[in-house]
Chains A and B, each alone.
Chain A
Amino acid sequence: MKRRSIAVSVLSTLALSLTCLSANAQPKEKISIMLNWYLYSEHAPFFLGKEKGYFEAEGIDLDIQEGRGSGPTIQAVAAKSVPFGYADVSTMIKVASKGAPVKTIGVALQKSPMSVMGLSEKNIKKPEDIKGKTVAMTPGDSMSQIWPLFLKKTGLKEGDYKVVSGDGQTKLNAVINGQADLLLGYLMDQNIKIQDATKKPVTVIPFADYGINMVVSGIIAHKDMLKDKPDLVKKFMRAATRSFEDATKNPEAAVDAMLKANAKAGQRESLIIGLKLTTPLYHTAETEKLRPFRVSPKDMNESFAMLLEYGGLEKSAGKVEDYYTNEFLP
């Protein structure tokens, strides 16, 4: 009697484990991507893709890590601490020109969300209205570096306005509390936060409306990884492309997926508004018909030229082709 029950239990365990094995036939590799900042609406597509199993289907067990700024994320990828990063491509070009062996394999935001914004009640709708106002900016970040170009294109001069400098949180506080009238920020990030905090509408003046377009966030990887593991990179980008396409069609689902993974990511409605403002930036007029991430050489050249003139990029930086590639895209 006892021997029979043992045999049964052994056989059933074997059968169970065989079915488990066949279900997980593909071994999953744990791959991390480090984001450019703490979670906000721009990151939702990754969570959607993970939830829908796009990464799993490619054999990738995706681990999404929050970052502390594009700079540290790029350095982490350069030091091989993480295989993939999601960071500002203009910053990446600057770091790469100083020797960091990184490249971008897919530019997510091809249109710039950079803008100057303030509470609508201040009635600042056109660049001329900026005269005499106080603008809050963060010294050294990409927006404050492109700001002189915005001034040039809109006919403003330094001295037409006052400047206060501070870090990200201080800029927000300054506008919310009235210490500053405007801040330089992304049109799907700070304006949502200001609206949430003050319950008042925010007017945004995008730099892109004045012909200033620089590519922004993209997926970056170490050059060694592109050489040694091209298949993994292709699989990752295939999953990422599907994720971003789905997020464009269904932003609500993307935000829900992000909130399920991390309930503190933000307010659901604000995140959905933010994501809906972000998805139009995935394409420019050049790449409208293409799938996400496929940046056009013309747009990259434009951004590179702007970086050379205004962004502090040195002439020794070389050609823009050294810094990006579309060859790993589906």
Chain B
Amino acid sequence: MKNLLTSQWSRPVLLIVMILILWDVVIRVFNIPPYLIPTPFSVVEQLWNEWPMLVKEAGPTTWATLGGFALSVLVGVPIAMLIAYSKLVESYVYPLLVFSQSVPKIAVAPLFVVWFGFGIIPKIIIAFLLGFFPVVVSTVMGFKSVEQDMVDLARSMGSTRLQMFFKINLPQALPAIFSGMKVSITLAVVGSVVGEFVGSNSGIGYVLQKANGNFDLPLMFAALVVLSMIGVILFALLDVLESLMIPWHASQRNDFQATA
């Protein structure tokens, strides 16, 4: 029992339980009507009743998130490498990247539906646009922080550029890349839901719209819970991958690290 209470996962769960209790108490004390904020019990009830439907709709959202995230990494890391290694590329491209981040994606989302249709593509693109920047920024920093001494040592021992890249530069940049990827994946979830709001027959965004239209606040909150769970699970998966790929890094030393 003592082990269970002090185990890794008990602490966030305990905090969630405390928040639920506080939520219920606030509603009772201030007499908040159900059409403004639902009670935690009604949300849990909806979660239970609509679980099969919510899981089914979580599928398309997750696929769009993963697709957008994959694009962010596949496109973001090479661009970041170019920026880190070439002052020319950096001076041309970096300011434009920062500028593009300020464009509110929800405003251009309807345009994407016009250009790319109602399928999964516009959602992947919006998820990509949201998740791309953190990957680029942290990857640039990762590659720029490679210890120059190590590189010089390796070159003095006759290593080729490719060997240096895979044995020194990339491993040293990985911790930063992973931290960028973790931020990116949570943003990619947001991106795919935004895409679904604007034009979709399926997905959690669709459930949110229907719940909104029917004033079914418990269902809306239940859908938000499922959405957050998707984010948490994906984040945890990245965490596991990180511990496998950079076990030697300082951040992996503590037994419980939720963020890098």
With A94-B215, A100-B33 known to touch, is A169 a contact of B206 (CB < 8 Å)? no
Contact of B118 among A94, A138, A142, A164 (CB under 8 A): A164
The segment from A71-79, A233-241, A245-253 that touches chain B is A71-79
Interface residues of B in 1-46 (CB under 8 A from A): 33-36
Q: Interface size on A (CB < 8 Å)?
A: 28
CA distance A78 to B34 in the complex (A): 12
With A139-B209, A173-B110 known to touch, is A95 a contact of B199 (CB < 8 Å)? no
Residues on B with C-beta less than 8 A from A174 are: 113-114, 118, 199
Query: Which B residue sits closest to A166, measured CB to CB?
Result: B199
- A211 in the interface (beta carbon within 8 A): no
Contact digits for A241-261, partner B, Cβ 8 Å, 1 yes 0 no:
000000000000000000000
- A312 in the interface (beta carbon within 8 A): yes
CA distance A84 to B55 in the complex (A): 41
Contacting pair A75 B206 (CB below 8 A): no
Interface residues of A in 179-229 (CB under 8 A from B): 179
Contact of B113 among A75, A78, A170 (CB under 8 A): A170
- B214 in the interface (beta carbon within 8 A): yes
- A141 in the interface (beta carbon within 8 A): yes
B19 to chain A, nearest CB (A): 24
CA distance A99 to B33 in the complex (A): 7
A288 to chain B, nearest CB (A): 33
Interface residues of A in 141-170 (CB under 8 A from B): 141-142, 144-145, 163-167, 169-170
Contact-size category for B: 20 to 34
- B212 in the interface (beta carbon within 8 A): yes
- A140 in the interface (beta carbon within 8 A): yes
Contacting pair A170 B198 (CB below 8 A): yes
A37 to chain B, nearest CB (A): 15
Interface core residue of B34, B114, B199, B201 (most chain A CB under 10 Å): B199
Interface residues of A in 89-146 (CB under 8 A from B): 94-95, 98-100, 138-142, 144-145
A-B contacts at CB below 8 angstroms, number: 77
Contact of B206 among A139, A170, A177, A312 (CB under 8 A): A139
Contacting pair B35 A140 (CB below 8 A): no
Contact of A99 among B35, B209, B211 (CB under 8 A): B35
CA distance A79 to B198 in the complex (A): 28
Contacting pair B199 A75 (CB below 8 A): no
Contacting pair A95 B201 (CB below 8 A): no
Contacting pair B34 A166 (CB below 8 A): no
B54 to chain A, nearest CB (A): 15
Contacting pair A312 B113 (CB below 8 A): no
- B133 in the interface (beta carbon within 8 A): no
Contacting pair A173 B35 (CB below 8 A): no
CA distance A35 to B215 in the complex (A): 19
Residues on A with C-beta less than 8 A from B211 are: 140
With A100-B35, A165-B199 known to touch, is A71 a contact of B212 (CB < 8 Å)? yes
- B52 in the interface (beta carbon within 8 A): no
Residues on B with C-beta less than 8 A from A177 are: 114
Residues on B with C-beta less than 8 A from A179 are: 113-114, 117-118
Residues on A with C-beta less than 8 A from B213 are: 71, 138-142, 144-145
B178 to chain A, nearest CB (A): 36
CA distance A62 to B47 in the complex (A): 44
Contact of B210 among A99, A140, A167 (CB under 8 A): A140
Interface core residue of B198, B211, B213 (most chain A CB under 10 Å): B213
What are 23 of the A-B contact pairs (CB < 8 Å)? Answer: A75-B35, A99-B33, A99-B34, A138-B209, A138-B213, A139-B206, A139-B213, A140-B212, A140-B214, A163-B201, A164-B199, A165-B118, A165-B201, A165-B206, A166-B113, A166-B199, A167-B209, A170-B110, A173-B110, A173-B113, A174-B113, A174-B114, A179-B114
List 5 other contacts, CB 8 Å, given A75-B35, A166-B198: A98-B215, A164-B118, A165-B201, A174-B113, A174-B114
